[in-house]
Structure 1
């Protein structure tokens, strides 16, 4: 990574300079100031009675200090004040005051050094013009004061203006960078939220598909096995089982078509938007699962549990249903989840406990509804239907129940059976 002002493939500016242009400007000003001070050093050497070479060398060193104005502006101004009696360093004093005022030095230090420069310039001008101007004392004082103010006040005011403008631009740049980072963060969060919503919706759809297909197809397989066993012995019962298989297949297809129709209806045309507007819209938009949640409000309810249990009885399962309490109006998500839990539990009984007695309990309580599906030990004489299991049934039930803030428990019983229990809040 290169610093500000660097060119790729080249080294950055040396020392304290930020840009190469700053190096050129400061070195150029330092050279001009050095030449000026060296020229003025000739007269200073004559007045001080020292060799001219010493005066020139002293002027070169004094003028060259202007190159340090960005790094040590206070030192440059102090040098200008120190050489003021020698009548040298005009450019050094003016540019040094400007650099000092535009820097980050505290205002009290700027005011102190500017006052010292003003006083030094006034004294030097007064002493040098007092013997040259044949006029009254007031004219000498006025002329000295005018020159001192002209050489001190304008560079200080201009430096203060440039420093304030630079700080304002830096503040605006920082705000712009902060807003850009914030928009980028919002866009990243919106993308993460959209990805999370897509994952949640895929899980939800997979769970719905599993509940619909697994239960219906499991019953179809059970009826098909019974149909195969009794086709030759009891044609009437075989015909009844064949009709039930057809009904189950049509119900499964109907529910699948409804779900696919919901997915197609959820698709909307997307118009192009600007990235910033897209980030804000994604950040404010509800997740996909929330947008589609209302599409499943017309799903199964608790009133259909009798039909569900009847289908399992028709498949040859010994099912008993017990209801405690009086039913109430529950939220659609609660009724659908309760139905799916019972449905999946009955499907597992068909798969893993053929011939076992099953008890379905439904309890309506004050602020919750509870359901339990318990099967006894498997009848060894019953034919194993050979239904495949993906191992996701209990996981899906747990996700549904916990997603609504309920409690889910499943596991084997002391009598050798299996029990699935769930409690859902009524709201």
Structure 2
């Protein structure tokens, strides 16, 4: 059931008989189509009133009664301009006038139609019953307008009321259907926008997770070399120059990657924009060599026949796990030997293990700060990929980071 007409509903049903009930901001203004429809119904009711009055004059009915009848009918016609604001009130007044005035018939039809379209069933039933009774009372008060028996007038009153009721229900059902379809379309559009926003947020979170892994690795290398220069001020000029070059290159790469991620997070990426190159498991030896060049002792044992055969998504996750494991080893177990073991085959999954001795006492190297969220991100990465990740101290006294990732055939 439609209550007070909202601007959205009026836009949905232009030119309709939508009521204009007042609200806190005042009555709803009529649109151009509303004015057109209201004018058509007003002219219909007025023309019918004049026609009935002309018939009354020609039929020899008392001119005084006819003049009074016409005056009441014209007033009812003008009252139709208020039906959008007070549909039930106008219908009751017009029907009450119809107890005596035959020329108010057109106004009564329009008023009752408005109530049927826009009011609840209880109000429709009461106004309709009043109209049926009013038709019978009119036949009693104005017998000059009817030459048929009273029961015939009663039947005609019921039939006319039923026709108006049916017409209004059809119009009302159609409008509700259109409104429902429009509402569904708006909801579908809103849900689509929400899905797009969620996908964009998930993609940004993925990019941020990737950049955490990359920047943590780069900055830990930079901190390691800077710490070496600090603790070895008497190092040969060649080593100092080499360490300074590594620091410069690592800082340049870290800044470049930071600019990329900030640019992506600030602006919505274009749909056709290419993804930045992502590492695969085939890049693992280069990662190990980079760590060795930074002074770490790393032993790689890969039991995979061809690292390039590992699917890109699986290889990227494995690469990030090893990268974070090496970064954590530089932070918390400086100077220790790190073992990296990669094993698996298609159909059986890929296992990645990074193991280093548990640090004892205060590390002799520079302390590298960390947020402590790297392992949390790795756990989420492995879970989303359908695998699992474990980390912690082993009975033998080592720190072990282990992950299993599915490797489909």
TM-score (norm 2): 0.63
Match of 1:167 in 2: 169
CA distance 1:71–1:426, change in 2 (3 Å): farther
Counterpart selection for 1:315 from 294, 306, 310: 294
Report the counterpart of residue 75 of structure 2 in structure 1: none
- Which residue is equivalent to 1:329? 309
- Residue 20 of structure 1 corresponds to 89
Would you say the 8 A contact 1:5–1:20 is kept in 2? no
CA-CA distance at 1:407 after TM superposition: 2.0
CA RMSD of aligned residues (A): 4.0
Verify the 8 A CA contact 2:208 2:261 in the aligned structure 1: no
Looking at structure 1, the residues matched to 189 and 151 of structure 2 have their Cα atoms a distance apart, in angstroms, of 53
Question: What is the alpha-carbon distance in structure 2 between the residues aligned to residue 95 and residue 27 of structure 1?
Answer: 17
2:401 is aligned with 1:399:
no
Match 1:193 to one of 167, 192, 195? 195
> How many positions carry a matched residue from both structures?
310
Structure 2 CA distance for aligned equivalents of residues 93 and 256 of structure 1: 91
Matched with 2:337 is: 357
Instruction: Tell me by how many angstroms 1:264 deviates.
Output: 9.1
Where do residues 153-302 of structure 1 align in structure 2 (5 Å cutoff)? 159-160=162-163, 162-256=164-258, 267-268=269-270, 295-296=275-276, 298-302=277-281
Higher mean C-alpha deviation, range 91-100 or range 412-421: 91-100
SS in 1 for 2:368: coil
Distance 1:315 1:168, change over 3 A: same
**What per-residue deviation string (whole Å, max 9, x for no partner) do you get for residues 291-334 of structure 1?**
77x614x2111111111112222223222111123235344332
Q: Distance in 2 between matches of 1:96 and 1:389?
A: 91
Tell me, yes or no, if structure 1 residue 101 matches structure 2 residue 82.
no
Q: Could you tell me how far 1:98 is from its partner in structure 2? A: 5.3
Equivalent-residue separation in structure 1 for 2:99 and 2:297 (angstroms): 104
In the other structure, the counterpart of 1:372 is 353
Distance of aligned partners of 1:20 and 1:304 in 2 relative to their CA distance in 1, 3 Å threshold: same
Once the 2 structures are TM-superposed, how far is the Cα of residue 213 of structure 1 from its aligned partner?
A: 1.4
CA drift of 1:227 comes to: 1.7
- Comparing 189-198 with 92-101, greater Cα deviation is found at 92-101
Going from structure 1 to structure 2, the CA distance change for 1:391 and 1:100 (only over 3 Å counts) comes to: farther
Q: 1:301 to 1:258 in 2, by over 3 A?
A: farther
CA distance in 1, matches of 2:294, 2:98: 101
Which of 364, 369, 376 is the matching residue for 1:383?
Answer: 364
In 2, the alpha carbon distance for the partners of 1:326 and 1:389 equals: 35
SS at match of 1:378: coil
| Matches of 1:76 and 1:424, distance apart in 2 | 83
Following TM superposition, where does structure 1 have runs of at least 4 consecutive aligned residues deviating by more than 6 angstroms?
72-77, 91-95, 260-266
Structure showing greater Rg: 1
Cα distance per residue 1:340-393 (max 9 Å; x no partner) = 121112111111222233211111322332212122211546424222212221
> Deviation at 1:200?
1.4
Unmatched segments (≥5 aa) in structure 1: 34-66, 104-158, 269-287
| Closer/same/farther in 2, CA of residues 96 and 316 from structure 1, 3 Å limit | farther
Question: 2:73 corresponds to which residue?
Answer: none
Distance in structure 1 (CA, Å) of the matches to 2:400 and 2:155:
89
Shift of 1:237: 2.8
Cα distance in 1, alignment partners of residues 233 and 252 from structure 2 = 22
Secondary structure of 1:295's match?
A: coil
Which of 313, 320, 325 is equivalent to 1:340? 320
Answer yes or no: is the 8 Å Cα contact 2:91–2:127 preserved in 1: no
